[in-house]
């Protein structure tokens, strides 16, 4: 597995990471825990060293799973987790608004250290920007945690370029995690140029469009009632039908390259910048191996131009999130 550095933050990880959320949260009933531990071990065996979780995934169960599975690989893997929400007091899935107050950040750090079974959190993201807490206070609190040896690197998620810049002035930001893929390209407008200027890495989540860009979902696909994609405007049958054109495009290019649509979508991201590290999630070993194969797909300048020209003709239909969730992004 190739390695990449996340910006100038001196954090080297595998070129492809693994998003762990779906192993216990969001995409229908949680899979068997022991099976997920096997998938996590298989990921390490195949060269993946970068794993993404958060306290809100479950809540808590995903961090606990990742902590148990990766305990044998202490010091050999990088685990990223996140703070930023008030969780439901009864422990049920979901949250009760944003909370990045310093005391909350510290509490999450202490609890995440225990669940992840580590001495320091490798990469600690603010999950969503809290408009009620100055970003300088957030960055300052993480700076203190780094000085105390409890955190190694500071990250931000779904933050606007100007907000990242302000935080970075207090505590250097190692990576920004935002949705980025062929079907959501807003980061190209302001965020990516700013990251390049400041030497900050980018970690695209949902690099396969929450499964849509794999070509395995169409307008007739039905999801489990607990699958959060049922709530997303971009996943209505009408939107899926309209957006099929993008998947067809990926399939065409995939055939030319003897690859799969998912591999082309990931290879396209990897080709954008050398400091971009996508974190596709999966619960299946064969999908893990398929995703890893994307690292070996070489897209020439001509291939990238072909993708660019064809993608420019596809208008993506449907908002990516319901309005109340979208309001928490790009702050």
- Residues tagged active-site: 57
Q: Give CA–CA dist 153/74, Å, rounded.
A: 17
Q: Check if the beta carbon of residue 109 is closer than 8 Å to that of residue 124.
A: yes
The span from the CA of 194 to the CA of 178, in Å, is: 14
DSSP symbol at 181: B
Would you call 11 helix, strand, or coil by DSSP? Answer: coil
Name residue 179's beta-bridge partners.
205
Determine the Cα–Cα distance for residues 123 and 159; give it in Å rounded to an integer.
16
The answer to whether 24 touches 30, Cβ cutoff 8 Å, is: yes
Element (H, E) at 96: strand 95-98
Euclidean distance between CA atoms 114 and 116, whole angstroms: 6
The span from the CA of 94 to the CA of 58, in Å, is: 8
What b/e readout covers 102-123, taking b as 16+ CB neighbours within 10 angstroms? eebbbebbeebbebbbbebbbb
Listing DSSP states for 127-152 in one string gives SS--TTS-HHHHHHHHHHHHHTTSEE
């Amino acid at each position: 597995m190739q390695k990449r550095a996340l910006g100038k933050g001196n954090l080297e990880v595998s070129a492809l990471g693994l998003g762990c959320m779906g192993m216990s949260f969001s995409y229908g009933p949680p899979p068997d825990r022991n099976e997920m531990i096997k998938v996590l071990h298989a990921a390490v065996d195949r060269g993946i060293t970068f794993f993404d979780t958060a306290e809100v995934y479950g809540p808590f169960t995903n961090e606990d799973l990742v902590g148990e599975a990766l305990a044998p690989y202490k010091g050999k893997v990088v685990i990223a987790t996140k703070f930023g929400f008030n969780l439901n007091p009864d422990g049920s899935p979901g949250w009760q608004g944003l909370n990045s107050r310093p005391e909350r950040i510290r509490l999450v750090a202490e609890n995440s250290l225990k669940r992840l079974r580590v001495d320091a959190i490798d990469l600690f993201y603010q999950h969503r920007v809290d408009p009620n807490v100055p970003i300088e206070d957030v960055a300052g609190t993480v700076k203190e945690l780094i000085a105390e040896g409890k955190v190694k690197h500071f990250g931000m998620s779904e933050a606007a370029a100007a907000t990242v810049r302000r935080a970075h002035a207090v505590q250097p930001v190692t990576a920004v995690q935002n949705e980025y893929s062929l079907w959501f390209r807003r980061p190209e407008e302001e965020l990516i140029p700013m990251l390049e200027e400041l030497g900050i890495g980018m970690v695209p989540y949902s690099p396969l469009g929450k499964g849509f860009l794999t070509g395995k979902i169409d307008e007739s696909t039905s999801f489990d009632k607990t699958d959060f994609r049922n709530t997303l405007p971009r996943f209505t049958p009408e939107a899926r039908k309209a957006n099929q054109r993008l998947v067809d495009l990926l399939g065409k290019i995939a055939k030319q390259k003897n690859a799969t649509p998912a591999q082309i979508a990931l290879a396209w991201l990897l080709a954008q910048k050398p400091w971009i590290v996508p974190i596709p999630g999966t619960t299946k070993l064969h999908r893990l191996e398929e995703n890893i194969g994307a690292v070996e797909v070489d897209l020439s300048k001509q291939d990238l131009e072909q993708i660019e020209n064809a993608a420019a003709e596809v208008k993506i239909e449907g908002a990516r999130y319901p309005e109340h969730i979208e309001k928490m992004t790009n702050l």
